[in-house]
Structures are given as structure tokens and as C-alpha cells.
Amino acid sequence: MLKLNVKDETSRLRAVVLGTAENNGPTPTAEEAYDPKSLEHILAGTYPIEPDMIKEMDAFARVFEKYDVKVYRPEVLENCNQIFSRDIAFVIDDVFVKSNILPDREKELDAIQYVIDQVEPSKVVKPPEDVHIEGGDVMLWGNHIFVGTYKGSDYPDHITARTNIQGVEFLKQLFPDKIVKEFDLVKSKTEARDNALHLDCCFQPVGEDKGIIYEGGFRNPEDYKYLVNLFGKENLFHITRDEMYNMNSNVFSIDTNVVVSEHNFIRLNTWLREQGFIVEDIPYAEIAKQEGLLRCSTLPLIRG
């Protein structure tokens, strides 16, 4: 049996699901794209190719090996993009929540059933159908659960809006002792620079009291201020619109002092090192073209 334990974003990682780029399928058509950055690269003829993405994920796997983290990989489905394990499920404390993900991505969950089978069945939860929720929108911090959502009345028109208010309510009911704080995110189907696809595309805690944030990712200035009050402005590394587009907030913590980052994130990596972090920088710029990065590629099972 797998004894799940995830209480935050940064405690020492012991076990994780890491996605796979094997058998990713051909370049999608423009109609098949479900985020604006993939669409941009499909139209420009620069969509990433499988061997390049496999190399990047291998580099990530080697970092986990170095830190002796137990890694589970999804079973490889034919012609299926299985890179972004983060979104298909998430763990809070010892509860495994299966996401109600975009229908285009539903089958990705079947490929980790062998992992779910190792979890005590009473600890596996599937939200009701009207609840939309994806792991990239869910983050743990102290007694908080931070949840990215979209409150616009045009929610159904946005394929990039993945967690609805019912998703926020669902977490409040499931974890009544936690402070569930939702964040209304900016969404665009056509401009990746104005699209915070998930909360982890514009914000993420690092270490014990720090975070990376893009102010423009929040529709409501009060939501941004909430995080500034909680963390203190001096503890937040503010990224620009282009840095958010390049996914700078989507690094991944292996420990409170170890962050896996992209090797082109010069300004961020310098700041992290100045704060005393060990930065494991790896190439991940091809996968970044699909509007996801390192946090998006992982599903932590055990920390601490």
C-alpha cells in the first residue's frame, strides 16, 4: 500500500508520478489544441517533437534519481500526450483526488490506475460531474488550499478555464478544517501571454516562506494582494509577462532548499541561488511550448 502524504509544495519529496513523452502522437491540428501556446507553435510549425521532449523528461528523471525519489511513470498509451501528470489528479494530506479534467485529457488517468490501485480505496475520491478541477490549480500552503479558478460568466467558452467554482466548493466540503482560498485567473484562448492556464502558471510557493508570482495573472487585484499579505512583498519574486509566458512560475521543489528549474531562467535562477536555494537547472524549453513545465509534469505522492 502507498501511504500518501502531501501537506505542502516544498517538503522533501519521496515519491512522485512523472509524466511521459513516449508515444506522444503526431503534432495536433489547430482544432485539437487546448491551450493558446500549443496553438501558436502548431501554426508556426515549431511544435515540439517527441525525441526532444523525451530528452527533457529524461533529464528531469535523472534529478529525481540523484535525490533518491521513487518515480512512477504512466503506462504508455498510444498517440497520447501524457506529459502533464499534475492535472489528472492530486494528493492532499493522505487523500488522492481524481481530477474532473478536460474530456480531451480524460484517458490520461487510466494510465496511472496501477498507482491508484496501491492506495487505500477509502482514500480515493472522484468529484461529482458538475465539478471541474485540475491539479495545476490546486496548491497547499500551511493550513491553506489555494485554488485557481475562473469566475467569468463566459466560463463555458474558455477551454483554458479548468477549475470552476463548484471545484472550489468541493474542496471546502472535503477539507472543512483547511482555509480554501480561490484565485480568479486571467484566461485567453488565443494569447498565451494573457492566459494563466492554471494557478501554477502564475504563482508558486518555494522554500518555507517565498514564492514566484505574476501579478497580471490575477483578474482581481485583491487576490494578488492576498498573497502579498500572506508572504510579504519582499519574499515574492515578481516575474514579467514574458517570464510567465516562458513558465517561470512552474519550477518544481524537491525540498525546501532544492528547486528544479529551466536552465534559461537566468533572472529567476540567480534570485533563487541568492536566497540560498540549490537550483537543479535542466533544459525544458521544448515542453514549455505546450504551456506546461516542471510542476505540471509531476504528481507528488509522498513528501516529508
Ligand X SMILES: NC(=O)NCCC[C@H](N)C(=O)O
The smaller minimum CB distance to ligand X, of residues 133 and 201, is found at 201
3 state DSSP class of 239: coil
Ranked by CB distance to ligand X, the top (closest) residue is 136
* Beta carbons of 24 and 267 less than 8 angstroms apart: no
Q: How far apart are CA 151 and CA 155, in angstroms?
A: 7
The smaller minimum CB distance to ligand X, of residues 11 and 163, is found at 163
Q: How far is the CB of 153 from ligand X (least distance, A)?
A: 22
The smaller minimum CB distance to ligand X, of residues 25 and 229, is found at 25
Q: How far apart are CA 97 and CA 124, in angstroms?
A: 6
Q: How far is the CB of 84 from ligand X (least distance, A)?
A: 4
Q: How far apart are CA 96 and CA 120, in angstroms?
A: 9
Q: How far is the CB of 81 from ligand X (least distance, A)?
A: 7
Q: How far is the CB of 70 from ligand X (least distance, A)?
A: 22
CA distances from 120 to 7, 111, 115, 137, 249 (A): 18, 18, 11, 25, 33
The smaller minimum CB distance to ligand X, of residues 2 and 201, is found at 201
The smaller minimum CB distance to ligand X, of residues 189 and 273, is found at 189
List of residues 6+ apart from 108 with CB closer than 8 A: 74, 77, 80, 81, 82, 85, 88, 101
Contact positions vs ligand X (CB under 6 A): 34-35, 38, 84, 86-87, 136, 197-198, 200-201, 290-292, 296
Q: How far is the CB of 56 from ligand X (least distance, A)?
A: 14
Q: How far apart are CA 93 and CA 18, in angstroms?
A: 19
